[in-house]
């Protein structure tokens, strides 16, 4: 059965045959034979997204293995390194981003930074190719997905008020509403217009310019002062002046303080290229300290 599984997987775009063999052997050796509640996951050796004919594990028991959560993660990582395939890549990314924190998988079995960078770049490339694939109707898959999402939101009424009001159906409904004949023999729009005129007639002091005590008058100088935007407070002005002073000192070549010199030496040290003694990675900046040297993945036991 091992040879049959390998033969099926080799029909895919295999980029690392040794990793492919390691993946198959790893799944068969690490199989727990039975489900352990909260401790194992059921894994399809031949991915179910690709090999639909072997999805039913009642008929194809050889295709299903019970792996603990850490081994399940490593199995997806090995397969992602062995085969270049959109579904396999997305399965690993989903495992790495969701299952790892959910299952509290130990850090000493995670793929190292270099391997993850390679897998992430390949995933982005495969995603771009998948989205830009031309379908039967001449549109890309991304365009089809966008249209489908729009249609679903329109049917469910979840597009938001602004979007819903711009749809042809909403526009037609509004036109029909305002042109509906009411009991008075007028349209709804005409009734609204008459109601507005009546309100203005009953409240001339509010709507008539001649009766408005402020109509036609200009603001006094005192009112203008009140309407002007208040100036910045003293503290903000002080900070601005201090900043200007520092910039001026730097431009004039004023000697820097000891603290400023220490910060410059620290920044310069971070810019120098360093080499991790454990994995040979070259780089500079804080990320080298964060992911290498004492924190390098090569220090931990890792089958990858």
Helix axes 188-202, 168-178, angle to 10 degrees: 60
140 touches 133 (CB < 8 A):
yes
Higher per-residue confidence, 215 vs 178: 178
Contact between 298 and 112 (Cβ < 8 Å) = yes
- Main-chain phi, psi angles of 232, to 5 degrees: -60, 150
Delimit the domains of the chain by residue range: 2-131, 142-178, 234-299
Q: Rounded to 5 degrees, what are φ and ψ at 134? A: -80, 125
How far apart are the C-alpha atoms of 27 and 42, rounded to whole Å?
A: 11
Question: Which residue shows structure tokens 């009991």?
Answer: 183
pTM over 0.85: no
Q: pLDDT value at position 31?
A: 93
Mapping DSSP to helix (H, G, I), strand (E, B) and coil, where does residue 5 land?
helix
Q: Check pLDDT > 80 for residue 219.
A: no
3-state secondary structure of 68: strand
Q: Is the pLDDT of residue 61 over 50?
A: yes
The 10s digit of each residue's pLDDT in 132-159 is 888 888 888 888 888 887 777 767 766 5
Q: What is the pLDDT of residue 303?
A: 46
Choice between 182 and 3, residue whose per-residue pLDDT is larger = 3
**Six-digit token string for 1:** 């059965």
Q: Is the pLDDT of residue 242 over 80?
A: no
64-68 and 274-275 strand pairing: unpaired
Q: Which tens digit of pLDDT belongs to each residue from 182-210? A: 888 888 888 888 888 787 777 766 666 55
Residues 6+ apart with CB under 8 A from 257: none
Buried/exposed code over 128-144 (b: 16+ C-beta within 10 A; e: otherwise)? eeeeeeeeeeeeeeeee
Q: Number of helices and strands (H, E) in the chain?
A: 15, 4
């Amino acid at each position: 059965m091992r040879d049959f599984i390998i033969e099926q997987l080799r029909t895919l775009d295999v980029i690392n045959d040794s990793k492919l063999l390691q993946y198959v052997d790893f799944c068969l050796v690490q199989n727990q034979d039975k489900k352990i509640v909260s401790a194992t996951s059921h894994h399809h050796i031949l991915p179910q997204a690709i090999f639909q004919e072997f999805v039913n594990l009642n008929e194809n028991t050889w295709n299903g293995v019970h792996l603990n959560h850490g081994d399940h993660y490593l199995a997806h990582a090995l397969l992602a390194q062995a085969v270049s395939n959109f579904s396999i890549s997305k399965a690993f990314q989903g495992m790495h981003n969701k299952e790892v924190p959910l299952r509290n998988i130990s850090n000493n079995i995670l793929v190292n930074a270099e391997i993850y960078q390679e897998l992430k770049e390949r995933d982005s490339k495969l995603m771009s190719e998948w989205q830009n694939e031309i379908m039967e109707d001449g549109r890309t898959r991304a365009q089809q997905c966008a249209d489908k999402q729009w249609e679903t939101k329109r049917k469910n009424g979840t597009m938001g008020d602004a979007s819903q009001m711009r749809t042809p159906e909403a526009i037609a409904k509004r036109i029909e509403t305002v042109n509906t004949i009411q009991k008075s023999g007028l349209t709804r729009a005409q009734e609204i217009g008459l109601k507005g005129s009546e309100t203005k007639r009953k409240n001339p002091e509010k709507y008539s310019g001649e009766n408005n005590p402020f109509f036609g008058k200009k603001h006094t100088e005192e009112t203008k002062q009140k309407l002007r935007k208040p100036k910045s407070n003293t503290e903000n002005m002080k900070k601005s002046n201090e900043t200007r002073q520092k910039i001026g000192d730097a431009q004039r070549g004023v000697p820097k303080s000891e603290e400023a010199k220490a910060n410059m030496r620290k920044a310069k040290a971070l810019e120098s290229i360093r080499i991790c003694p454990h994995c040979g990675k070259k780089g500079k900046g804080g990320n080298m300290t964060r992911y290498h040297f004492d924190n390098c993945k090569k220090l931990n036991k890792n089958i990858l």
